[in-house]
Structure formats: C-alpha cells, structure tokens
Amino acid sequence: MTPDTTKPMTIDEFWAFVNLPENADKRWELIDGIPVEKGGGDNMAPSSKINSLIALLIASYITPYVMSRRLGYVTGADGGYRVGKNILEPDFGYISKGRSGGLTGNFYDNAPDLAVEIVSISEREENVFRKAHRYLSNGTGMVWVVYPNEKTVYVCVSSDDGGMKVNIFDVNMTLSGGDVLPDFSLPVADIFPDDD
C-alpha cells in the first residue's frame, strides 16, 4: 500500500499503516506527518557493510557504559522514538530511564538523549542535518552524524539561539559523552575499522 501523502498522518494512523501485512518487511519513519521508507524502494535494502559495522562498534562501546551504570536503554536501527510529531529511527540511540517511559509499547514517547545517524551514500546532507535539528529541538542532548567515507563524526548540539552547533571530529580526535554520557569518551579511530 502506498501512503496517502495529500494529508499528514497522525502517529496513531502511522502506527496502523506500518503494521499492515504488506509493510512487514519494511522500515518507516514519520517525518512531518509523511511516512518515509528507510532505504526506499519496494524492499528495505540492508545497510552497507561499513555502515552496519560502524553502528555495531558504536553500540559495543556505549552499551556497556550505559548498562553497567543502569542509566537507561540503547536501541539499534529499528528502535523508534517520538520526536515531536515525527517517529524517527536512529542507527543507534540512547535514552535515559527517566525519559524512557519504561519498556512497554512500540516506540519511546520521547526523543533519545543521544542519536547516532550513519550517513549512507544515497542520503542528502541537508536531510541528515534537518533530522539532527529535529532531534535537538525535541529534547535530544547530542547527535552524532557519522560519515564513513571521510572517517569523520559531526557532533551536533543545540546552540543558545535555538539553532544547532556542529563540531567536526576526525580519526585523531576523541568523542566525549558530554552531559548526556558523563565521563564517557571514545576515540574516533575506534569506530572506523581498518579494511586490510
């Protein structure tokens, strides 16, 4: 079924739509009331090998930190979050227990505290940063936008004027968890594997 894009969907309408049998093998986000298939096309294409590995490496460092301190919950690429009137699925997400609303339901009712988006070749840069701004405008403390080919991470945080401040980290630098993950650090080089 192709969604009717003439009028925006509510979150309840979106949830009914994504649970239709013909959508069982697809992943959708709701952006400005419009369902958008992640990956596009008739079937959900898998992530590239490098994108999938980077997401798993980031998770392998953050998950033990979060779980050992009982701070909250982490999600993979199919974990959904209500971000204003949108439902977004970051490639990796972390949400604190206090903001999570528990583990029942289909998606978290709040934006993640940390969202990680790993940029694929087919994604338009303006859309990636528009999504980062959506996260930050709705309670996310930090967004990491990861560029596998350039081996860089763009760290996005809210600025005092309601905009977005972006700092670029390369493989010679170390990411900080800031206020979101206090005392957490991760060398950027550790999330970009050698391909030899």
State the average pLDDT over residues 119-148. Answer: 91
**How many angstroms separate the CA atoms of 170 and 147, rounded?**
10
Q: Where in the chain is the domain with CATH 3.90.1570.10?
A: 49-191
Choose the weakest-confidence range: 7-11, 85-89, 108-112: 7-11
> How large a percentage of the chain has pLDDT more than 70?
84
Burial of 22 (0-12, 13-18, 19+ CB in 10 A): exposed
Return the number of other C-beta atoms located less than 10 Å from residue 165's C-beta. Answer: 12
* Confidence bin at 43 (pLDDT 50/70/90): very low
Q: What is the mean pLDDT of residues 116-137?
A: 89
Half-sphere exposure of 57 (CA within 13 A, CB side): 18
Mean pLDDT within 164-188: 97
Q: Are 143 and 132 in contact (CB under 8 A)?
A: yes
pTM for the whole structure: 0.81
Architecture of domain 49-191: Alpha-Beta Complex (3.90)
Average pLDDT over residues 102-109: 90
Lowest mean pLDDT among 26-35, 57-66, 73-82, 101-110: 26-35
| Full strand arrangement of the beta sheet holding 92-96 | 72-75, 92-96, 114-118, 142-147, 152-158, 164-169
State the DSSP H helix or E strand holding residue 133, giving kind and residue range, or none if neither. Answer: helix 125-137
Q: Report the pLDDT averaged over residues 128-138.
A: 94
- Name the nearest CA neighbour of 59 among 67, 69, 49: 67
Per-chain mean pLDDT for the chain = 86
CA–CA distance from 4 to each of 9, 31, 126, 153, 164 (Å)? 9, 14, 25, 36, 32
- 75: pLDDT confidence band, cut at 50, 70 and 90? very high
Burial label for 40, CB within 10 Å (0-12, 13-18, 19+), is exposed
